[in-house]
Structure formats: C-alpha cells, structure tokens
Amino acid sequence: MTPDLSVRLGPLTLRNPVMVASGCCGFGQELAEWMPLSALGAIVVKGTTLRPRRGNPPPRVWETPAGMLNAIGLQNDGVQDLIEHKLPWLREQDVPIIVNIAGETVGEFAELARVLDRAPGVAALELNVSCPNVRAGGMQFGVCTTGVAEVTSAAREATRLPIITKLSPNVTDIVEMARAAVDAGADALSLINTLLGMAIDPETRRPRLANITGGLSGPAVRPVAVRMVWQVARAVRVPIIGLGGISRAEHALEFIIAGASAVCIGTGLFADPRCPIAVVDGLRDYMERHGIERLGDLRGALEAAV
C-alpha cells in the first residue's frame, strides 16, 4: 500500500497537505536553497500589498518561551513587483502558489484580488485580515464579523480564484468569524494567525519590539491553534488549513485529527528550513503504521466522548 497524501482544498488538489506559511518563506527563493519547493503541497507567499511597504523599525523579533514575537509590518515590494519579478521564477518551481494579500481598506483587497486574478500561475488567494502589526487594515478587519465578511465578499466578487480567509485568534469567538467568512464566499479558511503579545526589558523599561506589541508564534501557540481548528471544523463545511507551531509530523497530525485538511509550517522554518520534508515523510510513516490509505480519511478523526 502506498499511502495517498494528496488532499483537496476546495477546488484545489495538493500533492500533500504540507504547505509553508505566509511571512515565513518570503517568496520562495531563499527557501529553495534548502529544499525543493516541489516537495511542498503549496507555498503561501509573503503578505503582498498594493504599494510597497518598508515595514517596521527594528527590533522586529524577540524570542519567548517555545516561541517568538514578531512585528515585521508587512515589508514587501508591492503586487506589481510580485507579478513582474517574483511570480515568473516561482511558476518554474512546480508548486501551487497561494498569494497572501493585505489591503488597508476593503477596496484595496478587491483591487489586489482583481490584479492577481489576471496573473498567471496564482492558484489561490489568502486574505490577510489578521496581521497584528500594521496600523491600517490587517487585524482590524479580522476581529469583527462584519470586517471579515466585507473583505471576503469584496475579494470574492473581484476574482474567480479560490479564496482562503486567514483568521485571527485574537477574538472572543473564532467560530463566529469562520461562519462570517464562509457565508461571504470563502472557499477555505486558514487558522490561526499570530496571537497578539508583548515583552518588556525590565532593565530599560523598554518594549522588546520597536512596535511595542507583536504576534506570538511557534510551539507555544499550538494548543490554541489546535483548539480553534477543532471548534471551527465542527461548525463549517469548507476545508481548513491549520497552522501554529508545526515542525514535526506529530504536530501536523494533531491539526488533521482536529479537522484540518492541510497544514502550514511557519515559524518552524526559522529553526529548520528543511522540516517540511520531515513532516511529509513522518505523515507517510504514520499512515503506513496505522493502515490509513488516504490522508483525508484521518481528517476530523478525533476520538472523543463528546
């Protein structure tokens, strides 16, 4: 028996469920120095905005127990640069390309979706309504159902590409946000983005990050992410991409058993840029060990007396 690792993500079929997360793999070129991108289920490229963004001043990162805070601030060269200079190379890498887009307004999300609809090689769009490190846009949309719905439906009307809404965990009820996205036309959901956090140097009384607050990621957030995936999977019918602290197959399995169709590796790449390969291999081993033919059969297979 050769285990079948392919998964369906709405209209997309991925060769395996292991993707790399937006903001953690740039636009693929540096990661390709460490592993062939064709080994991935998909790549989600860095948050792309209509116009270039310089990003936040340093320090932008701070390590925390089993995790890290970041406040990069969506540094990128804008959507035109992506189309002209980054997509041509990425298209040659034999990997589905998902573009994470971040607008400051609902109109900018629609404009980004419209521009990328015509760009060859884009497999899907991920809507960044959950970045905690920018003043305008970002998480401001992701923390209320109307914001999530407006952005999702604006993008939905502007493109035929599959739409993935990336949800923020910084909400009282993640299920409400998920339902708002699905009702507005999302083909899939990514969860979770980073948890808003903060660290202080007591000696200087200064914040560790120039931005003062930042997004917490890494192994420390995994239990929160698994819980949210589990809650949302029971409430909506669209596929879920689970992420938060994944760097090994056993972590990915938690998300899949909780109800995720696919997973993203983000911060895990910083510690080991080759860990996606180990996760794919580990999933295959697990399936062989447990006699699972199709990975989809494991999705939502939580054994719980509830």
Partner 1 sequence: MSEGAPRPGQDHYVAQVRTNIGVADGHRLLTLICPEVAQTAVPGQFLQIRVSVSGQDPLLRRPICVAAAREDEVDIVVRVAGRGTDLLARETPGAFVDLLGPLGRGFTRPGRHEPVALVGGGVGVAPLHFLLTSLADPSRVRVLLGARTRALLPRQPGLSGLEGLRIATDDGSEGHHGTAADLLAGVLETDPPHRVYACGPQPMLAAVARLCIQRRIVCEVSLEERMACGIGVCMGCAVPMAGGGYTRACREGPVYDARAVKWE
Determine if 230 is a binding residue for partner 1 (CB under 8 A): no
Angle between helices 174-183 and 222-233 (to 10 degrees): 50
Determine if 107 is a binding residue for partner 1 (CB under 8 A): no
Minimum Å distance from CB 65 to partner 1? Answer: 6
Stretch that binds partner 1, among 113-121, 140-148, 268-276, 288-296 (CB under 8 A): 268-276
264 is catalytic: no
Q: Where are the alpha helices (DSSP H) in 159-216?
A: 174-183
Choice between 37 and 174, CB closer to partner 1: 37
Taking a C-beta distance cutoff of 8 angstroms, is the pair 124, 155 a contact?
Answer: no
Choice between 17 and 218, CB closer to partner 1: 218
Determine if 269 is a binding residue for partner 1 (CB under 8 A): yes
Minimum Å distance from CB 101 to partner 1? Answer: 17
Give the integer Cα–Cα distance in Å for 286 and 280: 10
Minimum Å distance from CB 272 to partner 1? Answer: 6
Give the integer Cα–Cα distance in Å for 157 and 172: 28
Determine if 211 is a binding residue for partner 1 (CB under 8 A): no
Taking a C-beta distance cutoff of 8 angstroms, is the pair 131, 102 a contact?
Answer: yes
Taking a C-beta distance cutoff of 8 angstroms, is the pair 239, 188 a contact?
Answer: yes
Q: Which amino acid is at 267?
A: T
Site for partner 1 in 29-58 (CB under 8 A): 29-34, 46, 54-58
Query: Catalytic one among 24, 25, 131, 275?
Result: 131
Determine if 26 is a binding residue for partner 1 (CB under 8 A): yes
Could you give the angle at the alpha carbon of 13 between the alpha carbons of 261 and 93, nearest 5°?
Answer: 110
